[in-house]
Amino acid sequence: MKLISVCGARPNFIKIAALLRELADYPEIESILVHTGQHYDTAMSHQFFDELNIPEPDVNLEVGSCSHAVQTARIMERFEPIVLQHAPDAVLVVGDVNSTMACALVAVKLGIPVIHVEAGLRSFDRDMPEEINRVVTDALSDLLFVTERSAVENLEGEGVSPAKIHFVGNVMIDTLRAHQQLADRSDVVARLELHPRDYVVLTLHRPSNVDDPAALARLCAALREIQRSHTVVFPTHPRTRANLQRRAASTLFADMPRLRLIEPLGYLEFIKLMRDSAAVLTDSGGIQEETTVLGVPCLTLRENTERPVTISEGTNRLVGTDPRHIVANFREIVSQPTQPRTPEYWDGHAAQRIVRVIADWHRLRSRAPLTCESGVAARPA
Ligand code: UD1
Ligand code: UDP
């Protein structure tokens, strides 16, 4: 079997790492890795390849940053010849970024089956670019691997055949479990002159929070209160950094001496920083999941989440962007002890289950008689 796996943005690298490690145990699967180049800074891309031992991509499409339409179109234009050249048996995409949707669309138009890892999550908020990417990718996929039960229900509700859906767990948590001991050895907390539980970690990068000045101002009002009792460490995503520069961060944060903006961290350092923190405040998808498994309280600064299991079976609270609500919840969570939680199948073996299903699926397909209706006629030679 020939399989092209796609990655493009920071959370993709964390997810693909677990899958590629597992694929290495299947000599019958020829694995080709394509990096779209959606993220390209060392701090947003290369360092994850080094830390997580991800093989050098076979191809980098080097699309860079641009508008949604241009980025999606550029990925499609550059990915199509790669698919034609390799004629894979399937294209595997992860998560919900533009690279995910663009490559799924290219594959399906060439009659190549699409495998989606982290399918079925829904925020039911179509203003989120990721929600569009999720809905489109899932509609195109032949194999849909899901992380939580809500995703199975979402997909079945959209008419996806249950035979295509596999509830296997969470590859992001596979990577976390595989690297937790290594992360524990990081000296990041001492290096930043922090003390365990005296600080909170903040990450923000959703356009609804950081591109909108009013939303950002509301979040700042909450941070102003929180930094009175806790140092706030803020590894700043490049989208956010660009926004802060435009709005003169020095004025926005002028009266917040305990707010510390730092560069995005490497994976191991970031995991350690979260693990020793009093709480994490975030609008990230993946971080809601990681804090659940680390047992660190998490406040999600959004109106919705596509990952409800992190609330029902985890340490997450959805608190929106109202400063009073954020601060009240913050005071509560830092005064209550939390324990690590393990939602169903978040046991570190999701990639094993996924690759086994893919190998079996391919074996069955290779035995099935080929017909024009099966889409093979549309395949490149
Ligand atoms: C993307 C994903 C989002 C994901 C996030 C993970 C989409 C639509 N969004 O958002 O779902 O949660 O990645 O981090 O796919 N930039 C740099 N250096 C880089 C990458 C980006 O400076 O290496 C800057 C550029 O100014 C760029 C901006 O960040 O315009 C946004 O990058 P982009 O990839 O378009 O979206 P993200 O906000 O990173
Ligand atoms: N992460 C990291 N360094 C940072 C911030 C985040 O290594 O400074 C990791 C984090 O542990 C998680 C992933 O990046 O594994 C989440 O990516 P992001 O928040 O950018 O995207 P999302 O999950 O929201 O799509």
- Ligand 2 pocket: which of 203, 284, 298, 316 to mutate (most atoms <8 Å of CB)? 284
Report which residue type is found at 325.
Answer: H
What distance in angstroms lies between residue 357's CA and the mean position of ligand 2's atoms? 27
Residue nearest to atom 30 of ligand 1 (CA): 65
Distance 39 CA to ligand 1 centre (A): 6
Catalytic positions, please? Answer: 205
The mean pLDDT value for 300-308 works out to 98
Atom of ligand 2 nearest to the CA of 176: 15
In order, the DSSP letters of 215-260 are HHHHHHHHHHHHHHHSEEEEEPPHHHHHHHHHTTHHHHTTT-TTEE
- Mutational pocket test of ligand 1: of 16, 60, 118, 239, the residue with most ligand atoms within 8 Å of the beta carbon: 239
In the chain, where does the domain assigned CATH 3.40.50.2000 lie? 2-168+349-377, 187-335
Integer Cα distance of 124 and 138 in angstroms: 14
Angle value at C-alpha 105, between 103 and 107, nearest 5 degrees: 70
Atom of ligand 2 minimally distant from the CA of 96: 25
- Looking at residue 251, what is its pLDDT? 78
Nearest to 11 by CA among 268, 349, 285: 285
User: Which residue has the CA at smallest separation from atom 6 of ligand 2?
Assistant: 270
CA of 10 to the centre of ligand 2 (A): 6
Q: List, for residues 2-17, the tens digit of each pLDDT value.
A: 999 999 999 999 999 9
Q: Please report which ligand is nearest the Cα atom of 302.
A: 2
User: Is 289 a residue whose pLDDT tops 60?
Assistant: yes
CATH class of the domain at 187-335: alpha beta
* 301: pLDDT strictly greater than 80: yes
- DSSP-derived letter for residue 126 is T
* pLDDT (mean) for 230-254: 89
Q: What is the pTM of this model?
A: 0.96
Query: Minimum-distance ligand to the CA of 17?
Result: 2
Task: Report CA(69)–ligand 1 centroid distance (Å).
Answer: 14
Comparison of pLDDT for 367 and 259, the residue scoring more: 259
Ligand 2 atom 14, closest CA: 11
Residue 369 pLDDT: 60
- Predicted pLDDT at 135: 98
The CATH number that domain 2-168+349-377 falls under is 3.40.50.2000
